[in-house]
Each structure stands twice: as structure tokens, then as C-alpha cells.
Amino acid sequence: MWVTVDGERPLGKAEARLLCRAVWLMLADCGAVIASRTDVERECRVYGIDWFDQWEAEQKVWLLEQVATALLTDQQPLKPAAMWEATVDAIFQHVFEQVVEEFEHETLDDNEFVPAAIESAAMDDLGHACEPRWRDDVILALKQQQNRVVEIGQSAGQAKQWRRLVMQLADRILGVAAYQTAESYRDEQAAKLAAFLEQKGLPVDFLTQIPPFLGQHETEASVERLRKLIKRFGRCS
């Protein structure tokens, strides 16, 4: 369960499908980084969200598992923490980046959409034969959230409008995220931070909760649990 602006609930079908597509690719990225440590080390994808980007790949796997489980199942909501809010933001930033990549591929392929190789491979691993465009899943999730049809242009020139739509999805789930404001008070304004957390009803350790660094076997178990969770949500239309 997640405390959304609509109350405490798990995600609906369309929201869940979009989230699972993003989390699957983010998990694959983390897995590739972990595997590369025995060869030529590579870095995780950067989303410009420090509270997510700063962690090691194993920590990101754990964050993705915890957040996806809370968003997709009936388990009790997670205790409020900056790391959860940032993880949700990173997931929807990934969604937006996939929308932009679709535009780029359509331009390269003379307006005929061809899924990126990494996405196609990931979908094949799940046993699915087809996938809708990311934009289609965004529109379906918005329709579910807002109970109305969303109309928007389908060209790269509408990228800013698409970003706004993706952020609407995240905002409907997160509400007003507090982690960035809280972080801005942390270094030199301890009293202001304490007052802000109290005003928002947030725990005093909102900024100090951090993901554990998992060992190899723990990481593998976390990856497997997350894969099984994602597979429960079919994503072909």
C-alpha cells in the first residue's frame, strides 16, 4: 500500500504496468553494473536525483524492491523517508526518458517506431511477445488516475508536455514530495529542518534512513523477489 493523494492504496492496473516496465529496466541496469565489477566496471544510469543516484547498485536494487512491493501489494505502507520518495521520482524519470527515446527512434527510423534493443531483450526475458509504446502506457495510467481521456501531440516537439504528464502521474502517487526541501535545510538550518519535519508529520529520521548494502546472496534474493513481483503484472495490451 502507498499513501497517495487519493488515500492509502496499491497502484491500479495501468499505473502498475507502467511502473513495472520502468522498474524492470532499472533492475537490469543495476544488474549489469553489479556483474561488470568482475570485468570492466561501469556506472548505473544517472537520473539527476541525488537521493537515488548516490547509492550503490546493490542498494538501488533493495530500494526498488521495497518501493515496488509497497506500491503493488497490500503490505503496510513504508515509514516515510527521503529514500522512498526519491526512488519513486527516479522511476518516473526513467519513464519520461523512455518516452524521449521513443521520439528519437521514430526520428531515426522515419517515424516508424522500433523498440530499443535493451527493452526488447528485457521483455523477451519476461516471456511477452509484444509491448505498447511507453506513451500509450502513460496515457492509460493518466486515464485511470484522472478518469478522463488525455489528448496530446505525438511529436518530439511535445517533449515538455509529455514530461508534465509523467510528473502528474508521480505527483498523484507521491503528493508533494518533501525530501528536496528537507535536504535543503539539513546542513545549516537544523532548527528549521526539525520544524519542517514536524509540520509535515514526518519522522525525525526522514533524512537519515539509508538503504543497507546487501551482500551477493542477499542481492540475488532481492532481485529474484522483485522479478517475481513484476511478472505478476502482465504488460502486453
| Domain boundaries of the chain, sorted by first residue | 2-231
Report the interhelical angle of 13-36 vs 134-146 (nearest 10°).
140
- Taking the C-alpha atoms of residue 202 and residue 164, their distance in angstroms, rounded to an integer, is 27
Mean pLDDT of the chain: 86
- Is residue 44 within 8 A of residue 29, CB to CB? The reply is yes
Band the pLDDT of 112: cuts 50, 70, 90. Answer: very low
Q: How far is CA 151 from CA 101, 159, 190, in A?
A: 20, 14, 45
Q: List, in sequence order, the alpha helices (H) in the chain.
A: 13-36, 50-53, 57-72, 82-108, 117-125, 134-146, 159-174, 179-186, 190-200, 216-231
Give mean pLDDT, residues 210-228: 95
Report the interhelical angle of 190-200 vs 179-186 (nearest 10°).
160
pLDDT at 45 > cutoff 90: yes
Instruction: Bin 44: left if φ > 0, else alpha if -120 < ψ < 50, else beta.
Output: beta
| pLDDT score of 152 | 80
- Is residue 206 within 8 A of residue 51, CB to CB? The reply is no
Report the interhelical angle of 82-108 vs 134-146 (nearest 10°).
130
CA 103, chain centre distance (Å): 20
CA 159, chain centre distance (Å): 19
User: Residue 15: how many CB atoms within 10 A of its CB?
Assistant: 23
**Cell 505525438, residue located:** 154
Give 123-165 pLDDT, tens digit per residue: 444 444 457 899 999 999 999 998 888 878 776 678 889 999 9
- Is residue 23 within 8 A of residue 68, CB to CB? The reply is yes
| pLDDT score of 107 | 67
pLDDT at 13 > cutoff 90: yes
Q: Which three cell numbers stand for residue 57?
A: 547498485
**pTM (predicted TM-score):** 0.86
- Taking the C-alpha atoms of residue 230 and residue 222, their distance in angstroms, rounded to an integer, is 12
Give 157-213 pLDDT, tens digit per residue: 788 899 999 999 999 999 889 999 999 998 778 899 999 999 999 999 999 999 999
- Taking the C-alpha atoms of residue 107 and residue 102, their distance in angstroms, rounded to an integer, is 9
